[in-house]
Structure 1
Amino acid sequence: MSTINHHSQTPNLPRIFLIRHGETQWSLTGQHTGQTDISLTPHGETEARQLACLLTNISFSQVLCSPLKRARQTCMAAGLGENPLTVPELAEWDYGDYEGQRSADIHQQLPDWNVYQDGCPRGESPEQISARADKLIARLRQSEGNIALFTHGQIGSAIAARWIGLAIINAQHLSLSTASLSILSFDPHHPSVPIIALWNATALSITP
Structure 2
Amino acid sequence: MTSELWLVRHGETAWSSAGRHTSTTDLPLTEEGERVASSLAARLAGQEFDLVLTSPRLRARRTAELAGFPGAEPNEDLAEWAYGDYEGLTTPQIRESVPGWTVWTHPSVGGETAQEVGDRLDRVVAGTRGVERALVFGHGHALRVLTARWLGLPVAAGAHFRLDTATVSVLGWERETPVIQRWNA
CA distance in 2, matches of 1:91, 1:168: 15
Whether 1:120 aligns to 2:78 is no
TM-score, scaled relative to structure 1: 0.86
What are the ranges of 5 or more consecutive residues in structure 2 without an aligned counterpart?
none
Count of matched residue pairs = 185
Identity between Structure 1 and Structure 2 (%)? 38
- Contact persistence 1:118–1:125 (CA under 8 A): no
* Counterparts of residues 92-171 of structure 1 (less than 5 Å): 92-141=80-129, 143-171=130-158
Gaps of 5+ in 1: 1-11, 202-208
SS in 2 for 1:116: coil
> What's the TM-score once normalised by structure 2's chain length?
0.97
> What is the distance in 2 between the residues matched to 1:37 and 1:14?
32
- Root-mean-square deviation (CA, aligned residues, Å) is 1.0
Higher radius of gyration, 1 or 2: 1
**Residue 49 of structure 2 aligns with which residue?**
60
Please list the CA deviations of residues 144-163 of structure 1 after superposition, one character each: whole Å capped at 9, or x if unmatched. Answer: 22211000000010000110
The answer to whether the 8 A contact 1:95-1:124 is kept is: yes
Q: Is the 8 A contact 1:14 1:140 kept in 2?
A: no
Equivalent-residue separation in structure 1 for 2:100 and 2:32 (angstroms): 33
CA displacement at 1:13 relative to structure 2? 3.2
Kept in 1: contact 2:19–2:90 (CA 8 A): yes
Decide which of 54, 70, 73 is 1:85's aligned counterpart. 73
Aligned residue number for residue 193 of structure 1: 177
In the alignment, the residues of structure 2 paired with residue 14 and residue 195 of structure 1 have an alpha-carbon distance, to the nearest angstrom, of 10
Mapped contact 2:2–2:134 kept (Cα < 8 A): no
Which structure 1 residue ranges, 4+ long, deviate > 6 Å from structure 2? Answer: none
Q: CA deviation at 1:132?
A: 1.1
SS at match of 2:104: helix
